[in-house]
Amino acid sequence: MHAFGIAVLLGLAVMIVAALVERYLAKVPEVRALVFLGLGIIAAWVMDFGLWREWEMTTRAGWLDVTLTGFIIGGMAHAWHVLLGFIGGLSRKVTDEATTIERTQLRAA
């Protein structure tokens, strides 16, 4: 269970790093998923972290364990991105940000 928690938190870290990289890729937002996957695989390889090895399950090759873990970390990063976007949307809805913006823009005009 600790290994899964590590993978979830690594996914959050990958999402944060991808958000920094996304500034430079603003013209191509479709690349976000590939950036998540790429950074997830890099993180798994740098840490030599494999979920199947942590769960004491055998795989055919060691590289497969680490690479598939990287895909899982990238997927977790995407899940974090969606979840935090949802929470941000709820926050804007609750605080009625649209009404606040309309009031300030109407006064300025």
The pLDDT value given to residue 45? 92
Torsion angle, alpha carbons of 34, 38, 39, 45, to 10:
160
When comparing pLDDT for 107 and 61, which is higher?
A: 61
b (16+ CB within 10 A) / e for 30-51: eebeebbbbbbbebbeeeebbb
Number of domains in the chain: 1
When comparing pLDDT for 94 and 80, which is higher?
A: 80
pTM of the model: 0.73
Is residue 62 included in any domain, yes or no? yes
Is residue 104 included in any domain, yes or no? no
Is residue 105 included in any domain, yes or no? no
Is residue 22 included in any domain, yes or no? yes
CA 33 to chain CA centroid, Å, is 9
Give residue 73's domain range: 2-81
* Predicted confidence (pLDDT) per residue in 67-76, tens digit: 988 999 988 9
The pLDDT value given to residue 57? 82
In this predicted structure, the answer to whether residue 98 has a pLDDT above a threshold of 70 is no
The pLDDT value given to residue 41? 92
Is residue 95 included in any domain, yes or no? no
- Give the integer Cα–Cα distance in Å for 55 and 58: 9
* Predicted confidence (pLDDT) per residue in 13-68, tens digit: 888 888 887 777 666 667 888 888 888 999 999 998 888 888 778 878 878 888 98
The pLDDT value given to residue 109? 53
5 Cβ contact partners less than 8 Å away, ≥ 6 residues apart: none
Is residue 97 included in any domain, yes or no? no
